[in-house]
Amino acid sequence: MKLHLNTIKNLIYKTLKRPFVRNFTMVMTGAAFGQAVAILFSPILTRLYGPEIFGITGVVLSIVAITVPLSTLTYANALVLPKSDDDAVRLLRISIYFASFISIVLFILIHFFGSNFTSVFNISEVEPYLLFIPFFTFLNACHECFSFWLVRKGNFKGKTIIDAFTSVFDNSSKALLGSSFPFPSTMLFLSISSRFLGSVLLLFEVKKSWPTYVASSKLGISDSFYNYKRTALTYIDFPLLRTPQITLNVASQGLPIILLASFFGPASAGFFGIARRLVGIPVGLIGSALASVIYPRLAAAVHKEEKFDHLVLQATVVLGCIGIIPYALLFLTAPWLFQFVFGEEWLTAGIYAKWMSLWMFSGFLNIPSVQSIPIIGIQQWFLKFEIVSTILRVITIVFGFYFLNNDVHTIILYSVIGFIINTYLISYVYLKNRSFAKNFTNDSM
């Protein structure tokens, strides 16, 4: 018996010592802290700001989510792929250059055509806050670039600490100022402030692992346009395929808030936003941590010509075992839970959350599959998939407004469609991973 226990202890110790498991545990711990902070402050923030303010803020942040991948052309996402730091440095700089340019263009467009945009979507309440978008876009782009650099360097600890700290700053500052200034501008300004703080702290971490030869050698200011062009063309599939795919994906996530605000009013958008935020806690807690770790792990497996299809399958199964209980509980108790925790005016958000748990659970499961897509080179298919799925989601909400004429019924239909879409994605990518793995003979650990 004692020998058996020692064997189990040794197995656990060896498992925890593996870089993949260690990094995943570290990132998940930080994500858990950040999510815990968000949960603790949510009852306070929902009572201070109310559904309409959350709805207006949600519309602005949904637009920002769409503009960020466009601003960097998703070259930041490619940072973990190059074998040499030379190309990685160029990719980071290309991303920042594009983000600066796009943010300026956004500022000009909003200044001259912002009112036209809000009138088309019938969201005039949002117009005073549109100028937050270009500033938030640039800061989010910088934050994304620096985060991917730290992931490339395996500095998960630094990234985790910074994310946890900015989560505390963001939520606590909103709670402190919300009692005196319960306005959308307060939430947006503090969100931008926390992102700025996080970007600065990440930049300090980036400098610690920044190649020492960059400032004084061929990668400095004198680096030729040819080298940047060559690097950009090497990873051209990211702006051509990954950018539209990610943009469509975040658009499909953000369009419900914009359309709900347009069709049913800002309060409905606020209900959807808070429901998605809380139902998405497992995604933020475990899924994002896994995504940060599994992406470079899969890229390393390809460089070593190792099979990795079983890693994707195992990660999906583990996520299923972890997520089934909390999502089942949400489906059964969400309406009562939201009303009890956030107040009576948030009952509708609880009804939203009940049905959204189906969609979010399937989205929780598809994270390993999505991370493997650029690795196995099916981004062109994924772009087509995102186009079709986005169109289906938009049609669902428009159909719900014109034919169901009920926001709750619309969310139910939207969630069921989302569940079907994610289930198909997982199945298709799994088959493609198995086919791709046949090219390799080595087994990854």
296 in helix, strand or coil?
helix
Q: Are residue 231 and residue 243 in the same domain, yes or no?
A: no
pTM for the structure as a whole: 0.80
In a domain, 359, yes or no: yes
Residue 9 confidence (pLDDT): 47
Q: How many CB atoms lie within 10 A of CB 436?
A: 18
Q: Work out the burial of residue 314: count CB atoms within 10 Å of its CB; fewer than 13 is exposed, 13-18 middle, 19 or more buried.
A: exposed
- Tokens representing 236 are 């051209």
Do the Cβ atoms of 33 and 27 come closer than 8 Å? Answer: no
Q: Are residue 418 and residue 276 in the same domain, yes or no?
A: yes
| Domain-ending residue, one of 212, 235, 258 | 235
Q: Are residue 429 and residue 316 in the same domain, yes or no?
A: yes
Residue 66 confidence (pLDDT): 93
Alpha carbon dihedral 30, 32, 35, 39, in 10-degree steps, equals -140
| Domain-ending residue, one of 198, 220, 235 | 235
Q: Which helix (H) or strand (E) holds 307?
A: strand 306-307
Cβ-proximal residues to 242 (8 Å cutoff; 6+ apart), any chain:
74, 77, 78, 374, 379
Q: Are residue 256 and residue 191 in the same domain, yes or no?
A: no
Residue 13 confidence (pLDDT): 47
Orientation of helix 132-152 relative to helix 19-72, angle to 10°:
150
DSSP-derived secondary structure letter, 217: S
In a domain, 17, yes or no: no
In 3D space, the residue among 170, 196, 194 whose CA is nearest the CA of residue 40 turns out to be 170
Place of tokens 């107040």: 343
pLDDT < 50: residue spans in the chain: 3, 8-9, 11-13, 15-16, 215-217, 219, 221, 445
Do the Cβ atoms of 422 and 365 come closer than 8 Å? Answer: yes
In a domain, 9, yes or no: no
- Buried/exposed 262-299: b ≥16 CB within 10 Å, e otherwise: bbbbbbbbbbbbbbbbbbbbbbbbbbbbbbbbbbbbbb
User: How far apart are alpha carbons 351 and 271 in whole angstroms?
Assistant: 9
Residue 11 confidence (pLDDT): 46
Concatenated DSSP letters of 46-107: HHHHHHHHHHHHHHHHHHHHHHHHHHHTTGGGGTTS-SSHHHHHHHHHHHHHHHHHHHHHHH
Q: Are residue 157 and residue 250 in the same domain, yes or no?
A: no
Residue 441 confidence (pLDDT): 58
Q: Where do the H-state alpha helices sit in 179-224?
A: 184-209
In a domain, 282, yes or no: yes
- Buried/exposed 127-138: b ≥16 CB within 10 Å, e otherwise: bebbbbbbbbbb
Q: Are residue 65 and residue 182 in the same domain, yes or no?
A: yes
Q: Are residue 295 and residue 217 in the same domain, yes or no?
A: no
User: How far apart are alpha carbons 56 and 41 in whole angstroms?
Assistant: 19
Q: Are residue 188 and residue 304 in the same domain, yes or no?
A: no
Residue numbers of the domain that contains 129: 23-235
User: How far apart are alpha carbons 344 and 336 in whole angstroms?
Assistant: 10
Q: Are residue 201 and residue 342 in the same domain, yes or no?
A: no
In this structure, the chain runs to a length of: 445
Domain count, the chain: 2
| Domain-ending residue, one of 179, 212, 235 | 235
Q: Are residue 228 and residue 249 in the same domain, yes or no?
A: no
Q: Are residue 111 and residue 213 in the same domain, yes or no?
A: yes
What residue type is assigned to position 354 of the chain?
K
In a domain, 380, yes or no: yes
User: How far apart are alpha carbons 445 and 442 in whole angstroms?
Assistant: 10
In a domain, 10, yes or no: no
In a domain, 5, yes or no: no
219 in helix, strand or coil?
coil
Residue 351 confidence (pLDDT): 96
In a domain, 120, yes or no: yes
Q: Are residue 173 and residue 315 in the same domain, yes or no?
A: no
Residue 340 confidence (pLDDT): 92
